[in-house]
Structure 1
Amino acid sequence: MTKTTLSLVGLAVGILGLVVQWIADPSRFPGFPPGIAFIAVFGALSAILARRFRWAPIFAVLISLWIVVGGTAAGQMLPNYRSDNLGTVIGTAVMTLGLLFAAATGVLAMAARRR
């Protein structure tokens, strides 16, 4: 399995975490969690462009860091970890781990393809 594929797996795990959060507390999301669509679009860009461009995993890295680092900096992540709803806590942890994995493997994929 290539590092680019591993970054896409990390994004899929991130989506799974969001689905867990959604199931645990549907009222948090008006209709459909927008993060799922964002991650899916950026993952599709990485997958489609990976055949032609060595930098294609940057999309997986960017969305992952935007959600995890940006969400933490904006004060959106910590309340999820402190929630009384166990599903929210578990979903946030799964999402965070998946996205951090996607970011790390995306960087490694770009570095490996540069050589």
Structure 2
Amino acid sequence: MSAIVARVAAASRSTRLSLWGLVVGILGLLIQWIADPGKFPLFPPGIVFIVVCGALVVFTVGRWWAPVFSVLISLWIVLGGWAAGQLTPNFRSDNAGTVAGNVVMSLGLAFAAVTGIMAMLGAWRARGR
């Protein structure tokens, strides 16, 4: 566990913020699950995908492109969910927990995508110096 903490501590500030955005995205999914457990088979599968991508970011810390996994999972869930027509009905749900969870998840993942892009750009620029 301390090795993971050390890897995260070694990451750039933007990369750490991107990881925090993923944590907030997971929190949003947990809120949705608590509000309407029947909406998910057994457990929200998005949590597993987010955790795996977060682990890949931590595992690749030190490489300029490490936060790409935060960006990809965030865009896949938010933009993919919107394009597939699954996100909008959750925002319009009669269940306040579903709406709140969706807002928290979407904001967290959008934050993860933006800070992940900023981390990669900053690392790319620093690499060229």
Provide TM-score, normalisation by structure 2: 0.87
Selected match of 1:92 from 83, 102, 109: 102
Q: What amino acid maps onto 2:13 in structure 1?
A: T
Selected match of 2:30 from 19, 33, 37: 19
Matched, 1:29 2:40: yes
Aligned to 1:3: 14
Aligned to 2:114: 104
Q: Distance in 2 between matches of 1:54 and 1:47?
A: 12
Number of aligned positions between the proteins: 114
Aligned to 1:47: 58
Aligned to 1:76: 86
Structure 1 moving runs of 4+ over 4 Å: none
Structure 2, unpaired ranges of 5+: 1-11
User: Per-residue displacement from partner, 1:92-111 (whole Å, max 9, x unpaired)?
Assistant: 00000000000000000000
Question: SS in structure 2 opposite 1:84?
Answer: coil
- Relative contact order (alpha carbons < 8 A, sep ≥ 6): 1 or 2 greater? 1
Provide TM-score, normalisation by structure 1: 0.97
